């Protein structure tokens, strides 16, 4: 006799979001987490004694308001060390640009008036387009068919909204849909720092360079999120608040429970089998972990059709970002930059593109580009007094790196950092570099891709994670997907989990 209605595999933000949504609908939910803490990739780690830092993502951008409000994360302890975090486009000469407000609403620094005006126009245009796309994130991707359970009302509303852009905007929207960001930036702007940072933000976490077609779409996706914020206590606080919230709703979270396989009886998912041999039954099994792992390892090809095995195997999951943590015994000095901002090293579009080139051939960037956050500048208690911790996401590195390549890449990163923050090397107490391979090993991000499948045009919406399972439902009755590998993708968001739960409830109602 099953002890719960639904089992959710993985306690990342999407797993917890799905759990919360189902619990709110009265379902009895069990969440299984292989690690010792809930949160998946959204955790805070003490990478060396006395220094705490967000283990993977270090900025909150896309947290789904349905999750934040629906689970009332605030009352479960989610606090922010900073909201509306500004961004500094670092210059090696100290001639930085400061972007404030919602994605560069105002820019200070030595930016020409023409660029200021052009940026204003471009930003507003992109924001308008992003706003049109935003609602797609909060729904099950439509199927390209008739009578297939699409949310027709919602779709019609969205269609009207797109039409409502007006003729000129609509034309521009369709032109920009699959364009590369570099061309748009070159068309509109002159300033290399500004172009560099937008190019960088576009391709952050992607296996694309700014000159790659379809890249602008990723920027629109990013702009569809809220402003940047930093949770108090690191990203682990978000997961902790979510865990608390869902537990308050009656969800049980079992830690150290690694799922070995999905139990399938008479072609139905009927439970899961844990690594320790224990079998847990439920009528609904929801995988909030990587889709490739879900299908190829937990379900196994014996229960799948070959075309589907091919598709699962073909999901592109090239993660090329490295996570760098530096424990510093003093205050790093970025030539006058405000440490209570997001610091970005991406001096030009060309610099980002050049950094991308080597990774296509399995090599790392000689001149990497990166996003730096110094969480200890925003809140106390993460590190010993007077000390700091630097957290950086650095691109691009290949998945496979031997110890020599790791050392060499770290050297290149430090050389770059030294250019922008002279003397930083001498402050280092301890460093940790997580390569894509490390991220795969520690957090199950196959290929080191934190979206569990590249966020790219060919893997978005009804193509995510792959053709046939984009509506969270799998061909195996009772088995659902709810992870970042599904629409709308990763980031600390919970949207995929929430969408999946809503879809499950809707489809259950139909049965």
Binding residues for another protein, rule: CB under 8 A, are: 143-146, 148, 167-168, 170-172, 174-180, 183, 187, 208, 211-214, 267, 296, 300-310, 313-314, 316, 353-354, 357, 360-361, 456-458, 462-463, 467-468, 475
Burial class of residue 1, CB neighbours in 10 A (0-12, 13-18, 19+): exposed
Closer of 264 and 374 to another protein (Cβ): 264
Q: Give the 3-state secondary structure of 278-314.
A: CEEECCEEEECCCHHHHHHHHHCHHHCCHHHHHHHHC
CB of 457 to another protein, least distance (A): 4
Q: Which is nearer to another protein, 95 or 187 (CB)?
A: 187
Q: Which is nearer to another protein, 147 or 509 (CB)?
A: 147
Residue entry with tokens 């999750």: 67
Minimum gap (Å) between residue 310 Cβ and another protein: 5
- Provide CB contacts within 8 A for 128, sequence distance 6+: 165, 169
| Least distance to another protein, CB of residue 466, Å | 9
Q: Would you say 394 and 364 are in contact if contact means Cβ atoms under 8 Å apart?
A: no
| H or E stretch covering 153 | helix 152-163
CB–CB of 453/488 below 8 Å? no
CB of 161 to another protein, least distance (A): 14
Q: Which is nearer to another protein, 121 or 278 (CB)?
A: 121
Shortest Cβ distance from residue 204 to another protein (Å)?
A: 17
CB-wise, 147 or 277, nearer to another protein?
147
Residues facing 430 on adjacent strands: 327
Nearer to another protein, 289 or 470 (CB): 470
At its nearest, how many Å lie between another protein and the CB of residue 152? 16
Long-range contacts of 473-478 (CB under 8 A, 24+ apart): 473/503, 473/507, 474/295, 474/299, 475/304, 475/305, 475/308, 476/262, 476/264, 476/267, 476/268, 476/269, 476/299, 476/303, 477/267, 477/268, 477/269, 478/268, 478/269, 478/270, 478/283, 478/284, 478/285
Least distance (Å) from another protein to the CB of residue 172? Answer: 7
Smaller CB separation from another protein, 206 or 245: 206
Please say which residue, 258 or 310, places its beta carbon nearer to another protein.
Answer: 310
472 touches 486 (CB < 8 A): yes
What's the distance, CA 501 to chain centroid?
19
């Amino acid at each position: 006799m099953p002890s719960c209605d639904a089992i959710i595999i993985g306690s990342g933000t999407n797993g917890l979001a799905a759990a919360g949504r189902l619990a709110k609908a009265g379902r009895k939910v069990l969440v299984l987490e292989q690690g010792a803490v809930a949160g998946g990739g959204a955790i805070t780690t003490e990478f060396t004694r006395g220094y705490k830092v967000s283990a993977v993502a270090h900025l909150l951008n896309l947290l789904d308001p349905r999750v934040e409000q629906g689970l009332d994360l605030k009352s479960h302890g989610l606090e922010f060390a900073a909201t509306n975090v500004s961004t500094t486009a670092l210059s090696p000469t100290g001639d930085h640009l400061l972007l404030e407000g919602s994605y560069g609403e105002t820019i200070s620094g030595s930016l020409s008036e023409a660029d200021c005006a052009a940026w204003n126009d471009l930003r507003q245009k992109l924001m308008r387009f992003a706003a049109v796309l935003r609602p797609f994130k909060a729904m099950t991707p439509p199927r390209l068919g008739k009578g297939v359970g699409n949310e027709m009302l919602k779709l019609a509303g969205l269609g009207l909204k797109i039409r409502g852009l007006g003729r000129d905007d609509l034309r521009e929207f369709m032109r920009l849909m699959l364009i590369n960001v570099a061309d748009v930036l070159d068309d509109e702007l002159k300033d290399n720092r500004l172009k560099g940072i937008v190019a960088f933000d576009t391709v952050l976490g992607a296996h694309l360079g700014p000159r790659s077609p379809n890249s602008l779409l990723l920027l629109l996706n990013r702009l569809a999120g809220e402003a940047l914020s930093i949770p108090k206590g690191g990203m682990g606080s978000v997961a902790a608040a979510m865990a608390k919230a869902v537990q308050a709703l009656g969800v049980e979270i079992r830690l150290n429970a690694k799922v070995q396989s999905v139990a399938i009886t008479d072609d139905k998912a009927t439970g899961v089998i844990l690594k320790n041999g224990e079998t847990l039954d439920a009528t609904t099994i929801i995988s909030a972990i990587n889709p490739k792992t879900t299908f190829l390892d937990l379900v196994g090809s014996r229960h799948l059709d070959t075309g589907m095995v091919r598709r699962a195997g073909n999901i592109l999951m090239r993660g090329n970002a490295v996570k760098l943590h530096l424990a510093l015994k003093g205050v790093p000095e970025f030539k006058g930059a405000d440490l209570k901002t997001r610091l970005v090293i991406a001096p030009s579009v060309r610099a980002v593109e050049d950094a991308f080139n080597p990774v296509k051939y399995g090599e790392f960037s000689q001149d990497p580009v990166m996003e730096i956050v110094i969480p200890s500048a925003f809140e106390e208690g993460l590190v010993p007094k007077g000390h700091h911790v630097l957290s950086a996401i650095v691109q691009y590195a290949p998945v496979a790196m031997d110890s020599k390549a790791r050392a060499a890449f770290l050297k290149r990163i430090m050389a770059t950092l030294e250019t922008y923050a002279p003397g930083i090397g001498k402050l280092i107490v301890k460093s940790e570099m997580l390569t894509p391979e490390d991220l795969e090993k520690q957090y199950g991000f196959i290929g080191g891709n934190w979206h569990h499948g590249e966020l790219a045009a060919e893997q978005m919406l009804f193509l995510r994670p792959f053709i046939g399972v984009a509506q969270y439902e799998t061909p195996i009755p009772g088995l659902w997907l709810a992870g970042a590998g599904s629409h709308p993708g990763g980031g600390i968001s919970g949207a995929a989990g929430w969408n999946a739960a809503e879809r499950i409830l809707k489809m259950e109602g139909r049965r």
